[in-house]
Structure 1
């Protein structure tokens, strides 16, 4: 989730700590941290303080003008803000959410910068599940089949869309650079649709893409070279797709700055990162989580399912200024040390925060990351 979480004068960009995250040595033999499993309450506390990094803020947004209300009054305290991510969302004690991110929706079509053509396909009219497909136009051989990448956007399960400018631009760039047919999933968001709605929508979209029902996929896609990819919460979704039973064969998984956590911080992880994640996770699940943030969907380190990951290869990436960097590395090491028979690869970039590449595609490190993703896909 690329946001700025603020409280008073305390500012934290993304999940970054107030000091750079130290580079952790790669050690596949070290024992993974043992995590406690206390139950995480789904009730937001009035105030949670994490000195030097993040602090939730209680703030009333009720009308002070003295004018009589035109609707039934809200319960006492319903207007209190319990968690605010500036420019992204604001969560109230009542459970309401204000989405503050850019509401612009870009139409599908031909992208002048990359030459990629996109289109929208509705998969389920009842739920509103849809996908946006991206097809590069520079095909060296009209009969050649392209790898198919099913992409899940980030946003803490609360914000984001396959059709917003950030992801539309990124998927155009990915399709052009990697020469892939990309399928960007527009899953339902919490809290209106609590988890597992986002997981279930993503699963349905993955099965749909693998079935090649769409003419673009049938004519230009190679279902035997199927990839899942995502950033932040989208990378979390990608992991969940890999541990579900009955899915298609997946050649590779690309987890860009995955959003994992747990009830307790691990070595090298800012304590506030786990606290913030616990709050957001409980809000997105609203009672459906098992073990709080140690639910295996949020904390794969607490799950024995890593050895049955349903892909042949995996790439995990992070930025060392990201407060989730230690958790990302721990996940990679756990995968590499498990009984999984696939091949895992790791990429970390100095001086970069959480999902930095979405906001600055042209910077040197974003290009390095894109080159690594392209090479990973081409290695199929």
Structure 2
């Protein structure tokens, strides 16, 4: 059989019909370190011998010798479930800066990626990570830095794009399957990757653009019935009112094709009978994950301050 391109996801990746993947984006990695600019130390941890999932743990260096316990941020990277990793310089640098800004401990999740491990692998690994974090609640978990320094009554989840999609789906799961040992104080979904078969009002109707997003979803989840799958179109989920998170921040960007899905998420969540609080922050004039591609711009700084303040609101009140 001749090798052909099954999914051309350029400029991000190409997937061939023999199962081979050519990742064109997000392939560079950096080791954990002490970042002198932010004063944040990182290390990599394997969650367990029988799990494929691992994580990069970040903590302010000043907190290591302090008795103070810090809130915990569990972070899920983006990349359409297909490219990028928790080890990439993009995410490593961003987490260093966010941890320093908010004064938290972060667990950046390295989940399995499609197409080698199609969905729900990333969802399963992400849930495994939450349970691993929760295993430190009695002070005798596998990672000493969490035992000594983590305040598990104040856990936040954040992620961009596909990572924000993961957070939503963790919320649906936590509504059905109690997560003991941690209290999730809030979640931050940055430019969430949701889609649907029918265009929303004002959303693009260009067949080329719509088919590209459909192709991304098919490549990540070949067994899915399509873009009205509740995993990628929460408005189709009858379980939405049971979302396990009570405080939700959705961030959207003015030029992002996915912007309307973020607003639609707020609308459907608010109307579902869910009892929590949801807020949307829109950054005008910016595109999808602009804060990662241009972290030094003013709007990226404002977005980071918003995420940090979301995690410290109760302390400041």
State the TM-score, normalizing by the size of structure 2: 0.90
Structure 1 residue 299: Cα displacement: 0.6
- Residue 219 of structure 2 corresponds to which residue in structure 1? 283
Match in the other structure for 1:258: 192
2:106 and 2:254 map into 1 onto residues whose CA distance is 28
Give the C-alpha shift of residue 255 in structure 1: 0.1
Work out which of the residue numbers 200, 225, 231 in structure 1 matches 2:124: 200
**Which of 92, 98, 108 matches 2:16?**
92
Q: Where does residue 106 of structure 1 map in the other structure?
A: 30
Q: Which gives a bigger RCO, structure 1 or 2 (Cα 8 Å, sep 6+)?
A: 1
For 2:102, the equivalent position in structure 1 comes to 178
Between the aligned partners of 1:295 and 1:80, the Cα distance in structure 2 is 25
TM-score normalised according to structure 1 size: 0.76
Q: 2:155–2:186: 8 Å Cα contact kept in structure 1?
A: yes
Cα displacement (A) at 1:127: 4.5
* Whole-angstrom distance in 1 between the partners of 2:301 and 2:195: 28
Once the two structures are TM-superposed, the CA of residue 196 in structure 1 deviates from its matched residue by 0.5
Do structure 1's residue 368 and structure 2's residue 302 form an aligned pair?
yes
Q: Distance in 2 between matches of 1:233 and 1:264?
A: 20
> Given the alignment of the two structures, is residue 158 of structure 1 paired with residue 70 of structure 2, yes or no?
no
Cα drift, residue 95 of structure 1: 4.6
Kindly report which structure 2 residues correspond to 1:212-291, keeping only aligned pairs within 5 A, or say none.
212=136, 213=141, 214-244=143-173, 245-248=177-180, 249-271=183-205, 272-287=208-223, 289=224, 291=225
- What is the DSSP-based 3-state SS (H/G/I as helix, E as strand, rest coil) of the residue aligned with 1:275? helix
Q: How many residues align?
A: 302
Measure, in 1, the Cα distance between the counterparts of 2:22 and 2:119: 18
Aligned residue for 2:80, secondary structure, equals coil
Given that 1:264 and 1:274 are in contact with CA atoms closer than 8 Å, whether structure 2 keeps it comes out as: no
C-alpha deviation, 1:143, in angstroms: 2.0
Alpha-carbon RMSD across the aligned residues, in angstroms, is: 1.8
SS in structure 1 of the partner of residue 10 of structure 2: strand
Classify the secondary structure of the residue corresponding to 1:304: coil
- Structure-2 separation of matches of 1:157 and 1:140: 33
Task: Give the structure 2 partner of residue 325 of structure 1.
Answer: 259
Answering whether residue 235 of structure 2 is matched by residue 310 of structure 1, we say no
Aligned to 2:235: 301
Larger Rg computed on CA atoms: 1
* SS of residue paired to 2:93: helix
- Corresponding position: 1:379 with 2:303: no
- SS state of the match for residue 226, structure 1? strand
Match of 2:284 in 1: 350
Secondary structure of 2:47's counterpart equals: strand
Q: Report the structure, 1 or 2, having the larger helix content.
A: 2
Structure 1 segment 59-74 matched on structure 2, within 5 A? none
Q: Is the 8 A contact 1:273 1:324 kept in 2?
A: no
1:124 to 2:60 alignment: no
Q: CA offset at residue 273 of structure 1?
A: 4.4
